[in-house]
Amino acid sequence: MSEKFEWINEEMEALKQQGLKTHIRTIGSACGPWMVVDGKKVLNFCTNNYLGLANHPRLKEAARAAVQIWGVGPAAVRSIAGTLELHRLLEERLAAFKGVEDALYVQSGFCANQAAIPSMVGKGDVIFTDRLNHASIIDGCRLSSARVVVYEHCDVEDCERAIKENLGEYRRALLITDGVFSMDGDIAPLDRLFELCERHGIITMVDDAHGEGVLGRGGRGIVDHFQLNGKFDLEIGTLSKAFGVMGGVIAGSSTVIEWIRQKARPFLFSSAVTAADTAACLAAVDLLEEGTELVERLWENTRYFKEGMRGAGFDIGASVTPITPVMIGDATLAQNFSRMLFDSDPGIFAMPIGYPTVPQGKARIRVMISASHSREDLDLGLDIFTRIGKSVGVIG
Ligand SMILES: *Cc1c(COP(=O)(O)O)cnc(C)c1O
């Protein structure tokens, strides 16, 4: 190995020592409650497939039909020759679903933040951002060149302090928060943040990647949950979690969305999402608008699993959503726990999460509940978690 990269060896060794080196598993089947992972059929608690749409027959048929009509790739960025009728249709449907004027469909939720944030603020502006916001928000803030002021997690008083200390010095201000925080499953105090921003004339933005399809009426998201429909200036979302497909969305007033269409670099300089993905997303919106059964089943499963885990003595944190963090503490123990789950018979697929994704000493195993889990799946999960939890002393 070249001496140029000796530093990688050293850093990699340090990651291993701290129990922080990620083993990336390879999936050998479609996304569902049971999957083939590294060649073994296991019960899946890892994916963000909240409603089981990732392998849904209606979505698959929509994608298949779209390939027949549109082919496989648009071969252009949206602003040149990549805006298909399907994209516009999806944008109209997503805007209607969320009760806002317009929406912009981009390549991913990650891209949505890169697209939206630098379009709204720049040099001379200020962003107020929750300490635990998602990496794509952090990167979007950096890209914008605006001053970034971090407030303590979900702490409205601290946010107000930050606003008062900084607001006068800058041209425009933007507040950004995750809706649902993906590592803890807690939710932002959106109503109080909104009221605060209204008072100070601050642009509001929420990233609802884990709230869409989950919270609100029929899965309309966290803004709907707080009955703030149409009031948040920008709602960021993803089509790759509950919606089961691929892509991101920026929703808001027609003024704001039209501006972002002119300015957003991922929209202007990176090719459009395929027709197949777009058509599958449209089928997902159809399903969500047709009924609330999947969302209800997701919540039923969530309540059942969480009660079971609490009953067994596990600390499952402050989650109020289907995200269920099983607190372990030590990163190496969390890795070992996850491996023991995987190696049990049958195996359970649940990822350990350590620093820097969560703070040092707060390692956990994150269980993602889905509407597609059966009662037997959940019982099996509870059984095996309890058995291993006892054997390693995480529970009594
Ligand atoms: C997952 C997630 C994203 C990224 O969405 P992708 O569509 O996977 O790129 C962005 N923001 C938040 C808050 C997320 O949880």
Pocket test for ligand 1, best of 48, 132, 134, 141 (most atoms within 8 A of CB): 134
pLDDT at 21: 83
Q: Is 271 a catalytic residue?
A: no
- Torsion sign over Cα 36, 284, 232, 185: negative
pLDDT at 260: 98
Q: How far is CA 224 from the centre of its chain?
A: 17
pLDDT at 385: 98
For ligand 1, the distance from its centroid to the CA atom of residue 109, given in whole angstroms, is: 5
Q: Is 182 a catalytic residue?
A: yes
Q: Residues with Cβ < 8 Å from 200, sequence gap 6 or more?
A: 163, 167, 173
Residues with CB under 6 A from ligand 1: 108-110, 134, 136, 178, 182, 207, 209-210, 238, 240, 248
144-173 residue pLDDT tens: 999 999 999 999 999 999 999 999 999 999
Q: Say if pTM beats, i.e. exceeds, 0.75.
A: yes
For the chain, what is the mean pLDDT?
Answer: 96
The number of the ligand 1 atom at minimal distance from the alpha carbon of 239 is 7
Concatenate the DSSP letters of all residues of 241-277 into one string.
Answer: STT-S--EEEEE-HHHHHHHHHH-HHHHHSBPPPHHH
pLDDT at 280: 98
Alpha carbon separation from 111 to 188, 237, 382 (Å, rounded): 22, 10, 36
Q: Is 338 a catalytic residue?
A: no
**Measuring from atom 7 of ligand 1, which residue has the nearest CA?**
109
pLDDT above 70 for 39: yes
**What's at 269, amino acid-wise?**
F
Q: What are the chain's domains?
A: 25-50+292-391 (3.90.1150.10), 57-290 (3.40.640.10)
Catalytic residue from among 108, 182, 270, 319: 182
92-113 residue pLDDT tens: 999 999 999 999 999 999 999 9
For ligand 1, the distance from its centroid to the CA atom of residue 72, given in whole angstroms, is: 24
For ligand 1, the distance from its centroid to the CA atom of residue 150, given in whole angstroms, is: 20
**Measuring from atom 1 of ligand 1, which residue has the nearest CA?**
209
pLDDT at 1: 65
Catalytic residue from among 87, 134, 241, 373: 241
For ligand 1, the distance from its centroid to the CA atom of residue 140, given in whole angstroms, is: 12
3-state SS record for 268-337? HHCECCCHHHHHHHHHHHHHHHHCCHHHHHHHHHHHHHHHHHHHHCCCCCCCCCCEEEEEEECHHHHHHH
168-207 residue pLDDT tens: 999 999 999 999 999 999 999 999 999 999 999 999 999 9
343-360 residue pLDDT tens: 999 999 999 998 888 888
**What's at 161, amino acid-wise?**
R
The number of the ligand 1 atom at minimal distance from the alpha carbon of 246 is 7
Measured CA to CA, the distance from residue 236 to residue 279 in angstroms comes to: 20
Catalytic residue from among 210, 306, 362, 373: 210
230: left (phi over 0), alpha (psi -120 to 50) or beta: left
pLDDT at 19: 74
| pLDDT band with cut points at 50, 70 and 90 for residue 81 | very high
**Measuring from atom 3 of ligand 1, which residue has the nearest CA?**
109
> Tokens in use for 131?
């300490």
Cα angle 226-301-215, degrees, rounded to a multiple of 5 = 15
For ligand 1, the distance from its centroid to the CA atom of residue 203, given in whole angstroms, is: 21
| pLDDT band with cut points at 50, 70 and 90 for residue 114 | very high
| pLDDT band with cut points at 50, 70 and 90 for residue 66 | very high
Q: How far is CA 386 from the centre of its chain?
A: 28
252-307 residue pLDDT tens: 999 999 999 999 999 999 999 999 999 999 999 999 999 999 999 999 999 999 99
**Strand, coil or helix: 101:** coil
Measured CA to CA, the distance from residue 225 to residue 216 in angstroms comes to: 4
**Measuring from atom 12 of ligand 1, which residue has the nearest CA?**
209
Best CA proximity match to 257, nearest among 106, 137, 77, 103: 103
221: left (phi over 0), alpha (psi -120 to 50) or beta: left
